[in-house]
């Protein structure tokens, strides 16, 4: 068995978009959000990967702060095994111009009914976000093969350290109730929730700077 070596986190580049989409689609395959958006098991992985590639490629890599962590097997090139999509308050990776490019593709992926539902969910997320300057975590995921290795915690901590240095809160949301305990260990608290028809509950989480 070859040893795995973590090569550290870094900012993602456009060349990393396929790797970011791959690892996040694997990590979030069973997330209630994507189970709702893509109920067909045979299509879910490919469509989730495509949706995340659009999100990262059009928005979070060029306009946000996407961080990746690489792991190398002995004698092999490093492979992206974890990714986090961050939006500093001074950037807008989900802004109007990005949305104009991205939503037509999302509409084709989701279909009219689910696209309309997701627009409503997306709007609720935006309304729940803090009004003051904050760091937004849009997505965090680690390859399931690396679960329990601390990669996810390391990616999250890197963002939290930035928020602390800038004196800003961090905001995120999740439809996965199993992840609440993970975020709570890093100082997040639930500040609200909303019902998502057919998908469950969306929890809004905030962490104030230490």
Q: What is the pLDDT of residues 168-184, one digit of tens each?
A: 999 999 999 999 999 99
Q: What is the pLDDT of residue 72?
A: 81
Which pLDDT value is given to residue 2? 53
Q: What is the pLDDT of residue 3?
A: 61
Q: What is the rounded distance in angstroms from the CA atom of residue 39 to the CA atom of residue 199?
A: 11
pLDDT of 94 reads 77
Across the chain, the runs of DSSP E, i.e. the strands, are: 4-11, 65-73, 79-87, 135-142, 170-174, 189-196, 200-207
Calculate the average pLDDT of the chain.
90
Instruction: List pLDDT tens digits, range 82-114.
Output: 999 999 988 888 777 777 787 788 788 888 888
Is the CB of residue 47 less than 8 Å from the CB of residue 38?
yes
CB 126 within 8 A of CB 71: no
Q: Treating both helix axes as pointing N-terminal to C-terminal, what angle do 96-110 and 112-128 enclose, rounded to 10 degrees? A: 140
pLDDT for 118 equals 85
Q: Is the pLDDT confidence value at 79 over 80?
A: yes
pLDDT of residue 193: 93
Q: What average pLDDT does the segment 185-204 reach?
A: 91
DSSP label at residue 76 = S
Give residue 1's pLDDT: 42
pLDDT per position as a tens digit, 13-69: 999 999 999 999 999 999 999 999 999 999 999 999 999 999 999 999 999 999 999
pLDDT (0 to 100) of residue 77: 84
Query: In terms of Cα–Cα distance, which of 181, 204, 173 is closest to 33?
Result: 173
Cα separation, 19 vs 99, in Å, equals 22
Which residues, including other chains, have CB under 8 Å from residue 24's CB and lie 6 or more apart?
48, 49, 52, 56, 83, 85, 139, 141
Strand order in 79-87's β-sheet?
A: 4-11, 65-73, 79-87, 135-142, 170-174, 200-207, 189-196
Instruction: Tell me the whole-structure pTM to 2 decimals.
Output: 0.91
Contact 138, 87 (CB under 8 A): yes
């Amino acid at each position: 068995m070859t040893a795995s070596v973590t090569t550290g986190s870094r900012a993602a580049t456009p060349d990393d978009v396929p790797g970011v989409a791959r690892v996040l689609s694997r990590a979030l395959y069973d997330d209630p959000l994507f189970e709702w958006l893509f109920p067909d098991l045979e299509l879910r992985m490919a469509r989730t990967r495509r949706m995340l590639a659009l999100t990262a490629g059009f928005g979070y890599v060029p306009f946000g702060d996407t961080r990746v962590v690489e792991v190398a097997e002995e004698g092999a090139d490093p492979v992206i095994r974890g990714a986090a999509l961050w939006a500093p308050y001074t950037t807008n990776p989900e802004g109007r111009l990005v949305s104009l490019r991205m939503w037509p593709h999302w509409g084709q992926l989701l279909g009219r009914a689910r696209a309309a539902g997701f627009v409503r969910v997306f709007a609720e997320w935006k309304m729940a976000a803090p009004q003051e300057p904050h760091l937004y975590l849009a997505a965090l995921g680690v390859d399931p093969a690396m679960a329990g290795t601390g990669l996810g915690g390391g990616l999250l901590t890197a963002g939290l350290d930035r928020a602390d240095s800038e004196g800003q809160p961090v905001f995120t949301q999740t439809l996965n109730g199993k992840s609440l305990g993970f975020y709570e260990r890093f100082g997040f608290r639930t500040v609200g929730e909303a019902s998502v028809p057919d998908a469950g509950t969306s929890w809004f989480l905030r962490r104030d700077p230490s």
